Every structure is written in structure tokens, then in C-alpha cells.
Chain A
């Protein structure tokens, strides 16, 4: 395994871990930061896949603008998810 492949495996691993953390964090501000990290590592992968224009657009829109509008929306609503224990059989009520 050469160095480029090792870097690719590392970036994909960090991207998947930050996606899981962005979904699982109860603090929505931290979750928005995790989503921005997913977009940042995805833009690095776009650059390694020889698509520099898509990488620039993803870095500008995904990592900056999308996180900014999420932060504005969190500012006008509530920051934390309401702590509610996972009751068994929640799918019955849907």
C-alpha cells in the first residue's frame, strides 16, 4: 500500500466517524460543526478524485454557508435536543 492510498483510507475513516458523531451528538451546535467537518473532508476527497471545481464549491457552500445557516436557525430555535429516554416500541406509535 503506497502513501496516497493510506491518506485516502485515513480521510474516509475520519469522514465516516465525524458523520456518526454529527448524528449522535445531542448538542445541535456541535452537530452542525460535525456536518461542516463531513463537508470539509468530502471536499478533500473531491480534490483527490481530480475534481477541483467541485472541491472549491463544496468547501465554500458545504463547510461555510450550510453551517452558517444552520447556526442561524439554531439561534432562533433551541440549542439542545430534549432529553427523552428511548422508550421501547416507539415505532408502534407512528
Chain B
């Protein structure tokens, strides 16, 4: 039952990699990078999941022995913030590229650079 998460997250990573390798538009490549990092976060969370246990929040009937692994969740919480900061910086670089060259096609930009 856990294998559907592995299938979905690895599919997201491969779809993002396809978009980065094949597409010519810069914004489409950045959408591919965003999908890829969503897939990596989902893969990390699904590795730490133990079937039948509850969230790692210490409350009334929940002790440390009935909780899933909390370490990948802290790790993914950091990775999400790093991902959105990287995406924002890359989008500002893409806007500057469009103002300088007038196009978003990577082949056009490579040819115009001379």
C-alpha cells in the first residue's frame, strides 16, 4: 500500500526531469524544477512513514512509540523553504533575461549571445 507513494513521487521526478531536458521555454523549465522538488519532498516523507502510526505530536494517548518518524518531516520542512527561495530567484533571472533579449526561448538566447 505504501508503494503507490513511491510510484507517484518517482513519476513526478521523471516528469520534471523531462520538462527540464526537452522544453525550450525558460518558464516551462522552471515549472519542471518545481514539480521535481515536490516529488523529492513526497519521496522523503513517504520513506519515513510507518503504517498504522499517527502524527508525531505529543498529546493525550500518543506516546513516542505510536508516532511516525519525525526526522524526514523536519528535513522536508527545510527543503520546501529552500525550494521556494530558489524558484523566486530563478524567476527574477528569467524576467531580466526577457527584458534583455526579448524572448524566453533558450536557443534564441544562446544564439543572440554570440
Question: Which A residues are within 8 Å of any B CB, using their own CB?
Answer: 5, 8-9, 12, 15-16, 19-20, 22-23, 28, 31-32, 35, 38-39, 42, 45-46, 49-54, 57-58, 61-62, 65-66, 69-70, 72-74, 76-78, 81-82, 84, 93
Contact = CB atoms under 8 A, between A and B. Distances in A.
Given A66-B84, A70-B27, A81-B25, A49 B5 contact: yes
Interface in B61-91: 68, 73, 76-77, 80-81, 84, 87-88, 91
Given A16-B11, A23-B31, A82-B105, 5 more contacts: A23-B23, A42-B12, A45-B8, A78-B98, A82-B25
A38 B55 contact: no
Given A35-B35, A42-B38, A46-B42, A74 B11 contact: no
B109 interface: no
Interface string B21-38: 001110110111011001
Contacts of B24: 81, 84
Contacts of B98: 76-78
- Give chain B's interface secondary structure class: helix
- Give chain A's interface secondary structure class: helix
Interface of B: 1, 4-5, 7-8, 11-12, 15-16, 18-19, 23-25, 27-28, 30-32, 34-35, 38, 41-42, 45-46, 49, 53-57, 68, 73, 76-77, 80-81, 84, 87-88, 91-92, 94-95, 98, 103-105, 107
B12 to A, nearest CB: 6
Contacts of A82: 25, 103, 105
B1 A19 contact: no
